[in-house]
Amino acid sequence: MARKIGSSSEITGPRIRDAALRLFARHGFASVSMRQIAAEVGVQAGALYLYTADKQALLFDLMQDHMTDLLCALQALPQCSDPAAQLDQFARFHIGYHLDRPDAVFIAYMELRSLSADNFAAIESLRRRYEDHLQGILIEGAAKGRFIFGDAKMTTLALIAMLTGVTNWYREGGRLSRADVQTLYADMALRAVSVAIE
Amino acid sequence: MARKIGSSSEITGPRIRDAALRLFARHGFASVSMRQIAAEVGVQAGALYLYTADKQALLFDLMQDHMTDLLCALQALPQCSDPAAQLDQFARFHIGYHLDRPDAVFIAYMELRSLSADNFAAIESLRRRYEDHLQGILIEGAAKGRFIFGDAKMTTLALIAMLTGVTNWYREGGRLSRADVQTLYADMALRAVSVAIE
DNA sequence: TCTTGAATTGAACGGGCATTCAGATAAGTT
DNA sequence: AACTTATCTGAATGCCCGTTCAATTCAAGA
């Protein structure tokens, strides 16, 4: 037997990417074999190579799409001029976006070292753009005298690490709701740069 | 040829653990082969099994020793009663300890999913004890009216994620000194729970 | 209905994997 | 110097890896 009934690239392609995303997130890129991904989709390993050049490209595409989508969604946020409102919005956005895509986020932070040098550089530059957005908010807030903090770059990285950490423990249906978590993290971020809350 | 000149378990044992620590941190547990570790030490792969039951035990021992040492060092800190001083001390300790052992820390946070179920539970329980220490400081500070925050458990995890994030970017000899970084992170932690700085 | 090309199989390739173990050699002890 | 024991080799075992490709079958347009 060869071509399967009901088969089409519009179905198999996304199914491969979904399976790879889930398996990479759960077990790690290096531990997942092409055969495992294929089995999840219900095809033979060879069929994967109609949809990706190789395993590395599969990982890179997943990461690049995630980062691109993230930057797009960030761009689409409504503008506001008050620094505290901007930081609050950023924190809520980051938490919400990350809680919606736990697997993609996990991969984007854990599998950087599985990328080839070129691919790593490409992803790092996208990530850098995201960080720069937050850093811009912090610097503007400091210039306007609304924020106080020690070092803009370090504070940026510390805040992003803090916010991203939510994916390590948050589970749907737990003690705290999504909105609770967004508020609590946003408030912590604001206080961390000396904005009084309540 | 068989036994090598100058060979002894007191030398080879630690060298194997050092090599494994460095290689696991750099390339990931799943990507590192026993042959690579052996080559780093200058010995054949079979010799590793005089020092570890298998590859999984090698990882587990590294992680367990790291967590045990961390808890020991935490215990050894001088006691103080002021909540703000306690949090400041904890933040400085965490940053300093983690900057001293980047490889061990990296493995302890990245390779949890490479552990067997039993080993994972053991490491998680050690990590839980560390988190509980910080949570105790936060709860006591809130009870004394010195700290304000939304939720103790969540704040604990957020602070630890923020502090641990330092290992992602700090490099010896960079723009900020070790002491700078400790001060900046400690101040952010304090502000995040509403303690006024300066 | 026939033809074309998209989709997939299944086998094969060369290689690396963790782990085991009999045999060999050096270190240490008497 | 002789003996014991700790240490290590090197080959072997059985398995899984990523990737390729000729052959095959289905879908869809003419």
Distance CA A188, CA B157 (A): 12
Provide the residue ranges of all domains of chain A, joining segments of one domain with +: 1-52, 54-192
Calpha distance B25→A68 (Å, rounded) = 28
Quick one: which of A160, A47, A110 has its CA closest to B28? A110
Quote the pLDDT of residue B20: 98
Q: What's the mean pLDDT when you consider all of chain A?
A: 96
| Ordered per-residue pLDDT tens for chain B, 198 residues | 688 888 888 899 999 999 999 999 999 999 999 999 999 999 999 999 999 999 999 999 999 999 999 999 999 999 999 999 999 999 999 999 999 999 999 999 999 999 999 999 999 999 999 999 999 999 999 999 999 999 999 999 999 999 999 999 999 999 999 999 999 999 999 999 999 886
B131 touches chain A (CB under 8 A): no
Name the closest residue on chain A to residue B32, using Cα atoms: A30
* Nearest-angstrom CA–CA distance, A43 and A55: 16
User: Residue B15, exposed/middle/buried by CB under 10 A (0-12, 13-18, 19+)?
Assistant: middle
Q: Tell which residue, B156, B150, B110, B114, has the closest CA to residue A109.
A: B110
A80 touches chain B (CB under 8 A): no
* Residues belonging to chain A: 198
Q: Can you identify the CATH homologous superfamily of domain B1-52? A: Homeodomain-like (1.10.10.60)
Reading the block at residue B2, the tokens are 């068989």
Q: Are the beta carbons of A78 and A67 closer than 8 angstroms?
A: no
Burial of B134 (0-12, 13-18, 19+ CB in 10 A): buried
- pLDDT for A133: 98
Q: Does A110 touch chain B (CB under 8 A)?
A: yes
Cβ atoms within 10 Å, residue B8: 8
CB burial readout A95-127, b (16+ within 10 A) else e: beebbebbbbbbbbbbbeebbeeebeebbeebb
Q: Which residues of A touch B91 (CB under 8 A)?
A: none
Cα dihedral B97/B103/B105/B108 (nearest 10):
-150
The fold adopted by the segment(s) B54-192 is Tetracycline Repressor; domain 2 (1.10.357)
The per-residue pLDDT for range A49-93, each reduced to its tens digit, is 999 999 999 999 999 999 999 999 999 999 999 999 999 999 999
Cβ-Cβ contacts under 8 Å, B161 against chain A = 161-162, 164-166, 168
- Sequence-distant (6+) residues with CB within 8 A of A60 are A115, A116, A119, A122, A123
